[in-house]
Structure 1
Amino acid sequence: MKIKYLFLSLWIMLCCENQQGLLIPVSVIQFKDFIEATGYKTDAEKFGWSIVQTNVFDYMVVDDATWFKPDGKNFAEGNFPVTQVSYNDAIEYCKWAKLSLPSYEQYWELAEKDGRIIASEEKLPISPISEVNIIGNVWDITSTLISDEVRLAGGSIFCSAKLCDGTNKDRELFVDRQTGNINIGFSVIVK
């Protein structure tokens, strides 16, 4: 498992490194390894549906939308960020992988060092994690200790600096611990 993170960190070219470690988006392949090793069922799988966002303003509840079929129809590609995951799912993954979610502050401290293009600024679709900046691809779940609400960081393809200020670190967007969405994923700190 840790070997996969080392290879992934080479793709990202240490763009998000500092004394705290590397901030690495979790890919579909990595999440699949977790599911296969543990038999874990995500919140979306338990519910039988999740949220699919079609643009910045429009959402739909879609049956069978899960981490492996984010839109409910098409299979997720392995080198893309895993989506349709909740805070609960991210925490279980981190326990299994012996890694941690970043706090909101850690996320921005590490992510702002990534000099690659921002998907939302270039109007790109959700992109492979090795090709674009961690900011602006999918919203990232951050750790929370005292709240039932989870703060999302980084913006997504639907939320550029010009449209809804999603790539601004002062932007406040919260979800509950069970919410997944086609443009919500998570990153981990690898030391």
Structure 2
Amino acid sequence: MAMYRMEVVANFCWRLCLLFIVQVIITSCEQSRLGLRPVSVADFEKFVAQTGYVTDAERYGWSIVQLDVYDFITRKGAHWRKPNGLAAANDPDLPVTQVSFNDALAYCQWANVRLPTYDEYWDLVRTDERTIVSENLYPISAVDKVNILGNVWDITEPNKGGQVRLAGGSLFCSMTTCNGTVADRMLYVDKETGNIHIGFSVISQIN
């Protein structure tokens, strides 16, 4: 009888281990299909055209225009169509900017995608070997031409405390200043603020 019980227990443990292994494999495969996609001006244009959405910056009539890593101004008329408040974005493939967390969330709900958590963001960008736009050496560049790191800060999903953390740094970052292209840099933003160097990327499935 004791031997029979031992065989039953061993068989149960084996089945449990096998189930765990299968679950790990499934989870790993699902994660491997996830990608991070920066949202472009063209992407956001489609969203606005179909929904009539009005961004926080458009409602307020002004937004922040970062001049360099230290200096900024507030300018009337700055919003996603005119990031500097003066001229329209000249390339639909540029990352959309002058968008707040609220705006990013509205886009995600429409597009059936989601913002990455801060940790997910860094897991997904680690294999991107394209040029990082930083240190003010290049202007903001088309999303399909450069590394997701740098270029513009990315809004991520709020943490457990409800804080919105920015990830990835921007064209203004450098090793001696904000250094946002490393994961331990902490920069938070409220849910209504936009800026000329803040955009967002979304979690998407890779076919």
TM range (shorter): 0.7 to 0.9
Could you tell me whether the CA contact under 8 Å between 1:31 and 1:82 is conserved in 2? yes
1:123 is the counterpart of 2:165:
no
State the SS of the aligned residue for 2:47.
helix
Corresponding residue for 1:164? Answer: 178
Corresponding residue for 2:69? Answer: 56
Could you tell me whether the CA contact under 8 Å between 1:161 and 1:168 is conserved in 2? no
Identify the structure with the greater helix proportion. 2
Corresponding residue for 2:37? Answer: 24
Deviation per CA, 1:136-179, whole angstroms, max 9, x where unpaired?
A: 11000000154343100000000123432111100000000001
CA distance in 2, matches of 1:73, 1:99: 31
Please identify runs of 4+ aligned residues in structure 1 that moved more than 3 A: 145-148
Deviation per CA, 1:25-53, whole angstroms, max 9, x where unpaired?
A: 00000000000100010000010000000
Deviates more, 1:158-167 or 1:108-117: 158-167
1:47 is the counterpart of 2:47:
no
Could you tell me whether the CA contact under 8 Å between 2:155 and 2:167 is conserved in 1? yes
Within a 5 Å distance, the mapping from 1:9-158 to structure 2 comes to 19=32, 21-76=34-89, 77-121=91-135, 123-144=137-158, 146-158=160-172
Tell me the C-alpha RMSD between the 2 structures: 1.5
TM-score, normalisation: structure 1: 0.88
1:177 is the counterpart of 2:191:
yes
Could you tell me whether the CA contact under 8 Å between 1:103 and 1:144 is conserved in 2? yes
Query: What stretches of structure 1 of length at least 5 have no aligned partner?
Result: 1-17
C-alpha displacement of 1:74: 0.9
Q: Kindly, what percent of the aligned residue pairs are identical?
A: 53
| Structure possessing the higher radius of gyration over alpha carbons | 2
CA distance in 2, matches of 1:83, 1:72: 12
- Matched residues, number: 175
Could you tell me whether the CA contact under 8 Å between 1:149 and 1:174 is conserved in 2? yes
Q: Which amino acid aligns with 1:75?
A: A
Q: Which amino acid aligns with 1:73?
A: L
CA distance in 2, matches of 1:42, 1:118: 28
State the SS of the aligned residue for 1:181.
coil
Could you tell me whether the CA contact under 8 Å between 2:135 and 2:172 is conserved in 1? no
Deviation per CA, 1:107-155, whole angstroms, max 9, x where unpaired?
A: 0000111000101057111111111100011000000154343100000
CA distance in 2, matches of 1:19, 1:73: 42
CA distance in 1, matches of 2:63, 2:136: 27
